[in-house]
Structure 1
Amino acid sequence: MLNLSKSLEAFNEAKTLMPGGVNSPVRSYRSVDCNPPFIARAEGDKIYDIDGNEYIDYVGSWGPMVVGHAHPQVVKALQEAATRGTSYGAPTVIESELAKLVQSVYPSMEMLRMVNSGTESTMSALRLARGYTGREKILKFIGCYHGHSDSLLVSAGSGMATFGVPSSPGVTKGTAADTITIPYNDEEAFKEIMDKCGDEIAAVIVEPVAGNMGCIPPKQGYLRLLRKLTEEHGTLLIFDEVMCGFRASLGGAQAAYGIVPDLTCLGKIIGGGLPVAAYGGKREIMSKVSPSGPVYQAGTLSGNPLAMTAGLETLKIITAEPEAGEPDYSRKLTLKTKKLLLGWQEKAREAGVSIQAHQAGSMFGIFFSEKEVYDYADAEAADQEAFKVWFKAMLEQGIYLAPSQFETLFMSGAHSEEDIDRTIEAAGRAFAAVAAL
């Protein structure tokens, strides 16, 4: 058995200091009925807890550690930056350097604004969309998570294409009433709601590759339909690529699927592990943001020099030209991810366990389900008890995964072929434990 005695002691103390003992809910491990290991350090593709246990990490701080933990190039740049001060609250050249590098990969972001979190990014993009269009309603998709701002903490109402209701205490009915929710990947529901009130909707916001109900790619042609109908109704299309940016492909889902959104939200990787996000898009729209325009948004720590440094160095690594005959960084991650998932699928078949495996570049995940998973209802119908058994069996073998079937996993450049092979073998034993249920 995995020894987590020090972690348990630390967790018990933390629960007296913080709600649930954590600063973000999923870290509590409540959905898998066990206690979390408390992490002491990380390097490469490994993390180490305070009990001395080593794990191969496929969470990667929920996505940003695309080059691995404590990459020497990133660490060196951060150490040097820290000697020059940690925050100025004033303009710096490095903000422009990072912005130009982001724009070189995401040309749809003609102008952008740095912020500190994915929540801040999506919240600001929606305010801008409302200010630009003069409309109040927004449309989101059930199971797509865009942060914890009030207008996005909304669940479906009584119908499948209807105005939302609050999904958290503290969110007012009035706020929720301006948010329309429909199922992800449902073309007919989208056509119906756009026909009904498309001219009243300021923006459609979507995770083009869903990452918060597990990894669920869009059906063929679905994103193109979103683009077509939003253009017809003068509605802005916002791609929330906080998770799938630089993951679904180097240029995110918009490059992978050939769609140009009006606004894009990025996060995770552009901070290289530090708190950074951004929103941006067409120059005409972004010019409405203060101080150029009337839509207000500000942040003292936005463009923080340490965060900009970590993001810039990370992007330099993943955008570097590959050696002759070698695939680029993003392609290498995609191939590693494919190898891992094919191995998991083979081990599941050997154990007689039904799974659905999804991949979008270096994002991936599995569902314990006999049927394909296209939306939140499908994900919810997957076998959660089987996942718990599998998760715990993997953790016991030193494989660190997201403690929920509704979360996405991530590959990094630091994952070795040997560690991927080890993970596949561990999965075989974990699937056998599921089969024994």
Structure 2
Amino acid sequence: MAGIASVGLVCPAKLIQKPMFSPTLTRSNYSSSVKVTSVSLDQEKKTFTLHKSQQAFEAAKELMPGGVNSPVRAFKSVGGQPILIDSVKGSHMWDIDGNEYIDYVGSWGPAIIGHADDEVLKALAETMKKGTSFGAPCLLENVLAEMVISAVPNPFLVKAGSGVATLGLPDSPGVPKAATYDTLTSPYNDIQTVASLFEEHKGEIAAVILEPVVGNSGFITPTVDFLNALRKITKENDTLLIFDEVMTGFRLSYGGAQEYFGITPDLTTLGKIIGGGLPVGAYGGRREIMEMVAPAGPMYQAGTLSGNPLAMTAGIHTLKRLKEAGNYEYLDKITSELINGILDAGKNAGHAMCGGYISGMFGFFFTEGPVYNFEDAKKSDTAKFAKFYRGMLEEGVYFAPSQFEAGFTSLAHSSEDIQKTIAAADKVLRQL
């Protein structure tokens, strides 16, 4: 779900998982291989300017509402104006003013093997020779579907369209009350409230849907027993458990959050990584459920660009790369060094911060924490984050332009990238 985890019973999460360090600042030091003092930030550093981006953004505001095609890109929560990107490669990106950045957004998650991977580009070039869109079945759909099915316990998957816009909050402007009349919401990591809702609405709750690890309220992970308790209560009430793995699928592990936590939902939504940087979405689950979808069943679903050959190609080659041994261990290592380094820099500079990570997904908040849900996340000092964000931008580090978005590392991020980022964070945090 692209939004603040909402439910058929949904919401945000907690902060700490996999490496089980505390979401406060009392942790062991990060890897000694990361030395803040070993990197000079001033070597060959050019003057930071955004003149061209500013001009282009002003023009864009006359062409598109707010000047962007996705709200968070407008930099509203961090101030200033958005940067316009000219090119990307590996773990780096360049804007139209010529500024270079180490990128921790990764196109909001898909770029897990790095931007513009040579093998993916080569495969796309070959596919493009045959056409860019067929509007009919192609063999590549079978190949990608088989790869996805083999990665997760769900026995049957269906490709959705080229992407689905999901409203994360039932009270979002423009959504009629009638559209959410049958939706209940519960705080994340609050199984007592979930249980109360089941008690109040016995036999009426059809499904519980949530991000198993929340990314759109900042990075928040489930408490130890929360997901297990959800699985138990949904089974007891003959209710479907739906995991929104658009962000976590193939990110936390090759089998996504359901493999990582050892919990099998009834339905799963996927996106981002399975398209390798091109637009694609998928959903799937138990065969008896999926056979309700047309043409096998009465529930109609279709899309002009469903099964697009270019998206299938990029997805196939991305998943092939991810299957190689050691990749998730590498993501875990560099992300651990990154988040521990940033939090240590914050502690040394006297700032209240907490954070966490799982594999190549991470986040941090300017609050003591711990953060278990969106209400906790809202205690973060967003003004301080905005200053930190702008300072890091000038140091050549690109984080998501919102306190309430997760960050991502990739296989293309190097030890030097991590060292430079920690050094930049140390410098900026001391200046706040």
Establish whether residue 113 from structure 1 lines up as the match of residue 158 from structure 2.
Answer: yes
Instruction: Determine the C-alpha separation between the residues in 2 that align with 1:153 and 1:400.
Output: 27
**What does the per-residue CA deviation read over 1:2-37, in whole Å, with 9 as the maximum and x for residues that have no partner?**
200000000000000000000000000011111011
Match of 2:354 in 1: 356
State the distance in 2 between where 1:75 and 1:49 align.
21
Quick one: which of 73, 76, 94 aligns to 2:119?
73
Q: Distance in 1 between matches of 2:137 and 2:233?
A: 39
- Partner of residue 54, structure 1: 100
- Equivalent in the alignment of 1:221: 225
3-state secondary structure, aligned to 1:42: strand
Question: For residue 381 of structure 1, what is the amino acid of its counterpart?
Answer: K
In the TM superposition, what whole-angstrom CA distance separates every residue of 1:205-252 from its partner, at most 9, and x where no partner exists?
Answer: 010001100010000110011111111111100000000111122211
Q: What is the distance in 2 between the residues matched to 1:433 and 1:185? A: 35
Q: Which residue of 2 aligns with 1:90?
A: 136
Q: Would the aligned equivalents of 1:118 and 1:265 in 2 still touch at CA under 8 Å?
A: no
- 1:167 alignment partner, one of 172, 192, 205: 172
Q: Which amino acid aligns with 1:341?
A: I
Residues 169-318 of structure 1 aligned to structure 2 (within 5 Å): 170-318=174-322
Query: Which deviations, in whole Å up to 9, do the C-alpha atoms of 1:128-150 show, x marking residues without a partner?
Result: xxxxxxxxxxxxxxxxxxx23xx
Structure 2 distance, partners of 1:79, 1:334, is 32
- Alpha-carbon RMSD across the aligned residues, in angstroms, is 1.1
Are 2:162 and 2:306, in contact at CA under 8 Å, matched by a contact in 1? no
Partners of 1:53 and 1:371 in 2: how far apart?
A: 34
1:340/1:198 CA distance change after superposition, 3 Å: farther
Out of 77, 83, 94, the position equivalent to 1:37 is 83
1:25 aligns with 2:71: yes
The answer for the alignment partner of 2:56 in structure 1 is 10
Letter in 2 for 1:271: G
Cα deviation code 1:336-383 (max 9, x no counterpart)? 100111111211111111111121221101000012101000111111
Distance 1:405 1:215 in 2: 9
Displacement, 1:270? 0.2
Q: 1:433 to 1:118 in 2, by over 3 A?
A: farther
**Equivalent residue for 2:43?**
none
Q: Unpaired segments of 5 or more residues in structure 2?
A: 1-46
Matching residue of 1:422? 420
Q: Under a length normalisation based on structure 2, what TM-score does the superposition of the two structures give?
A: 0.88
Higher strand residue share: 1
The structure with the greater share of residues assigned to helix is 1
Letter in 1 for 2:241: L
Whole-Å Cα distance in 2 between the matches of residues 198 and 61 of structure 1?
42
Q: Is the 1:209–1:248 contact (alpha carbons within 8 Å) kept by the matching residues of 2? A: no
Code of the residue aligned with 2:172 in structure 1: it is S
Where 1:364 maps in the other structure, the secondary structure is: strand
1:183 aligned counterpart, secondary structure? coil
Q: What is the CA–CA distance in structure 2 between the aligned matches of 1:249 and 1:93, rounded to whole Å?
A: 26
CA distance 1:239–1:230, shift in 2 (3 Å): same
Question: CA, structure 1 residues 404+198, in 2 after alignment: closer, same or farther (shift >3 Å)?
Answer: farther
| Paired residues of 1:209 and 1:360 also in contact (CA < 8 A) | no
* Distance in 2 of aligned mates of 1:285 and 1:360: 30
Q: CA deviation at 1:182?
A: 1.0
Q: How many Å separate the matches in 2 of 1:226 and 1:9? A: 50
Residues 68, 413 of structure 1: 8 Å contact kept: yes
The AA in structure 1 aligned to 2:297 is G
The 2-side partners of 1:318 and 1:248 are apart by: 11
Cα distance in 1 for residues equivalent to 2:215 and 2:418: 22
The answer on whether the counterparts of 2:157 and 2:283 sit within 8 Å (CA) in structure 1 is yes
Q: Say which is worse superposed, 171-180 or 207-216, in terms of deviation.
A: 171-180
Aligned to 1:396: 394
Query: Post-superposition shift, 1:256?
Result: 1.1
Equivalent residues, number: 386
CA distance in 2, matches of 1:262, 1:117: 23
Unaligned stretches of 5+ residues in structure 1: 121-146, 155-165, 323-327
- Asked if 2 retains the 8 angstrom alpha-carbon contact of 1:7 and 1:51, the reply is yes
Q: Is the 8 A contact 1:118 1:266 kept in 2?
A: no
